[in-house]
Structures are given as C-alpha cells and as structure tokens.
C-alpha cells in the first residue's frame, strides 16, 4: 500500500536509508534531516502489516525544480513495480504543486529512463543541488551518479 509517510515511520526510513547508504547507493541522512523533510516522503507498506519495504522522497529545490531522492526498495521486493509506484507518486505530487521539471542523481539510469527521465549534464542543474554532494566522499572528482531530468 502506497501512502504518505507519518511521524512513526521516521526511524524505519532512517534505517532503510542507512542500509542503502552502506551499499553505496545513496548518501546517509540524519534523523534530524528526515524529521525535517518527512512531508517529502512516500512509503510502500506491506498490506496487513506494519512493514515498510519502500521509500522515496520528492523535495522542492526551486520555483521550477523538484528532486526525486532517497528511493529505496527492499531487495526481496525489487522488480515488483514498487519503485515505479513510489516515483510516480512523487511525480504526481510535483505536478499538483505545478513543478514540471524533476531531476534525480542516480545509479539506476535504466530504471529512470523507463519513467521518461533523460540524461543531462550536471552543470545544467542549479548550484543549490550540490549542497548534499559536498558531504559525499566521491565529490567532486569521483562522482559516478547520473544526472537525469524529466520535463513535463
């Protein structure tokens, strides 16, 4: 079941981000950061259970730009459409807010291409997006994430 995140989900979201971060799939985030951005998150919860097996956030970057971030689906549930549902929910919310340019920094290029995202040079994105990158050990010389954008 796809739904907006709730305050009781924060520690689970934090744990899932740390699992993914430990594998080098995304940057870690603090509990404080997750509490502060909780409204950005959607979660995918197993029907009839409290188990959350997927998360994704859409954050507003600027008046005409949003970011899809912190996408994670439990490895045992990948290839079931959960990631697609999470990202589509974020895109739908961006459209509701009249944000028609949505980008992501990702290692999952093929996944996002299937959703209509196109490769873009990082330099075309505003400098504001780099605030998270400064905390990454791969920045600036070894960044291997793809910058992708969806323009609606």
Residue 27 main-chain phi, psi, to 5 deg? -80, 145
Tell me what percent of the residues of the chain surpass a pLDDT of 90. 75
Confidence of residue 131 (pLDDT cuts 50, 70, 90): low
Do residues 27 and 132 lie in contact, with contact meaning Cβ atoms separated by under 8 Å? yes
What is the predicted pLDDT for the residue at 62? 87
The Cα-based distances of 60 to 65, 68, 110, 151 in angstroms read 6, 9, 24, 15
pLDDT tens-digit readout, 7-61? 999 999 999 999 999 998 888 899 999 999 999 999 999 999 999 999 999 999 9
What is the predicted pLDDT for the residue at 122? 79
pLDDT tens-digit readout, 70-85? 999 999 999 999 999 9
What is the predicted pLDDT for the residue at 128? 53
pTM of the predicted protein model: 0.89
Confidence of residue 144 (pLDDT cuts 50, 70, 90): low
Give the pLDDT mean for 88-107: 96
Do residues 2 and 40 lie in contact, with contact meaning Cβ atoms separated by under 8 Å? no
Cα distance from N-terminal residue to C-terminal residue, the chain: 26
What is the predicted pLDDT for the residue at 132? 59
Provide the CATH number for the domain formed by 2-151 in this structure.
3.40.630.30
* Per-domain boundaries in the chain: 2-151
């Amino acid at each position: 079941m796809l739904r907006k995140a709730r305050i009781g989900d924060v520690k689970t979201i934090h744990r899932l981000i740390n699992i993914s971060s430990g594998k080098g799939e995304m940057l870690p985030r603090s509990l404080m950061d997750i509490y502060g951005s909780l409204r950005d998150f959607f979660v995918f919860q197993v029907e009839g259970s409290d188990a959350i097996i997927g998360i994704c956030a859409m954050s507003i970057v600027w008046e005409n730009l949003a970011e899809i971030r912190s996408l994670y689906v439990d490895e045992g549930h990948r290839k079931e459409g959960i990631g697609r549902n999470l990202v589509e929910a974020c895109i739908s919310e961006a459209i509701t807010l009249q944000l028609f340019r949505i980008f992501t920094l990702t290692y999952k290029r093929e996944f996002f291409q299937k959703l209509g995202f196109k490769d873009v040079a990082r330099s075309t994105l505003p400098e504001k997006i780099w605030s998270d990158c400064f905390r990454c050990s791969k920045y600036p010389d070894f960044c291997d994430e793809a910058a992708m954008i969806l323009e609606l």
